[in-house]
Amino acid sequence: MRRSSRSATVQPVSSELPADVAAATALSSYEDARLSDEVGRLLEEIGALDAVTAARSVVLKPNWVNHANPLGHDPSSLVTHTRVIEAIAAHVARRLPAGSRVLIADAPVQACNFETLLRVNGVHDALARLRAAHPAVSFEVADWRLVRASSRLSWKATERVDSWDPNEHQLVDVGARSFLEPVSDRAERFRVTCYAPSTMHTRHRPGVHQYLVARAALEADVVVNVPKLKMHIKAGVTCALKNLVGINGHKEFLPHHVTGTPENGGDSHRPGHAAREQFERYYDFHFEHLARLPRPLISVLSRALNTADRLTATTDTSNFGSWPGNDTVWRMTLDLNHLLYAWAPQRPRSVFTLVDAVTVGVGNGPLRPSPAHLGVLLAGRNPATIDAIGATLLGFEPMALPTIRNALTNPASFFAAAPQRAPATPRVTAQRPLNWERVAAPTDR
């Protein structure tokens, strides 16, 4: 029986999540003999293993953002390490009833080669080991994207899917409860890079805020969010909260910034860059009309776009919301977290988080991070308190980061709580993302 393709509306839910965060520290590497045992201990401590004993479907949501780091680093600072994913899956499988399913899935960026991602990270080998050790449990992987980039076209021109299988994705309208609603008077200026601007306005406008969410995430009995701790050019830090953006299958549903400057209600870049505003308009025109242009003309226009980008950039240019003044990405991020935890009419019974911070990504994450060793795993029920600790370990004051600050203190937040004390471990002292250099460092609590 096919499910209805109509959108679902949100339901009010009020609850409190435990704010405590468990940690494992001093892990030497992903080869550390303690890794699997520590994963099991953390899952037990936060209640995840008890939760799966009656589950039929468990989703593991790693950070599988891309198949390669353009800086040439190995994937350890880019994506969740397969040894962490495999350890979680193994501990979960030992508690699952026969006939249950473990699904490992994400929606990477449109340019990601998903098969290459699985191969270079040893996912197929891990699945083979899991299936051999736990034959009564099904282990699967899935790519939740509905848009993929074509390697034949420049500037990430896309091969898109304009329709979707309602058995695979659910259109959910969070309506006026959306954290985007207070700024929806500028919804026509909501943007995400590399997509036609006009499409997003059909999904976000006053009173309407739609997301296209993987049904597997909504219908799972248990979700284990398995983020990679990294710095992020638009949010400062990506960890538990930002990782759940990957349950959405179509990036055109995801506002990341508003065109213009704070002077005119935007947050794309700082004031005082008139040339950059002209580039932004050309950029919009390029992606609005890209799909209708012949391929030779796309190549010409793409070269012109690259040239315009270079000519209008300055040392203090903030691109497409990549700076601390971004007032949009936190709203979209909290929408998706609230949707999964509280708002969607059908949602998981339990959501847990276990963070891979053995190797973290510093510098210009999420796509171009450099590796730094931290040797930590974090676990808990409240993604906001987890992220506050993650930000501290990366050298940021959590309350200086809009996503974490609003998750912890916004009166409408399901995750409001007092920040927890970070584990006793050295903090990362490394290059921050461009334009985030002056954000406050952690204060002692």
Quote the Cα angle for 352-110-234, to 5°. Answer: 65
Dihedral of the CA atoms 253, 13, 385, 439 (nearest 10)?
Answer: 40
> ω before 366 within 30° of 0 (cis)?
yes
Residue whose C-alpha is closest to residue 20's, from 418, 445, 424, 409: 418
Q: For the domain made up of 8-172+208-252+325-409, give the CATH fold.
A: Rossmann fold (3.40.50)
Give the Cα separation of 412 and 407 in Å (integer).
9
Amino acid at 354: L
Whether residue 439 contacts residue 325, with contact meaning beta carbons closer than 8 Å, is answered with no
- pLDDT, one tens digit for every residue, the chain (445 residues): 333 334 554 433 344 688 899 999 999 999 999 999 999 999 999 999 999 999 999 999 999 999 999 999 999 999 999 999 999 999 999 999 999 999 999 999 999 999 999 999 999 999 999 999 999 999 999 999 998 876 444 444 455 555 688 899 999 999 999 999 999 999 999 988 777 788 888 999 999 999 999 999 999 999 999 999 999 999 999 999 999 999 999 999 999 999 888 888 989 887 777 777 777 776 776 676 665 666 666 667 677 767 767 767 665 556 788 899 999 999 999 999 999 999 988 899 999 999 999 999 999 999 999 999 999 999 999 999 999 999 999 999 999 999 999 999 999 999 999 878 888 777 888 889 999 999 999 975 5
Question: Which amino acid is residue 328, in one-letter code?
Answer: T
Query: Looking at residue 9, what is its pLDDT?
Result: 44
φ/ψ of residue 336, rounded to 5? -70, -35
User: How much is the pLDDT for 306?
Assistant: 72
Inter-residue contact 398 to 405 (CB < 8 Å): yes
Which pLDDT value is given to residue 343? 92
pLDDT in the model for residue 149? 73
Domain borders along the chain are: 8-172+208-252+325-409
- For 5, residues 6+ apart whose C-beta sits below 8 A from its C-beta are 166, 171
pLDDT score recorded for residue 303:
77
Cα atoms found within 13 Å of the Cα of residue 176, Cβ hemisphere only: 1
Closest-CA residue to 23 (of 379, 382, 354): 379
With residue 282 as reference, give the H or E element that holds it: helix 274-289
Beta-ladder partners of 396: none
- Closest to 386 (Cα-Cα) out of 366, 357, 361: 357
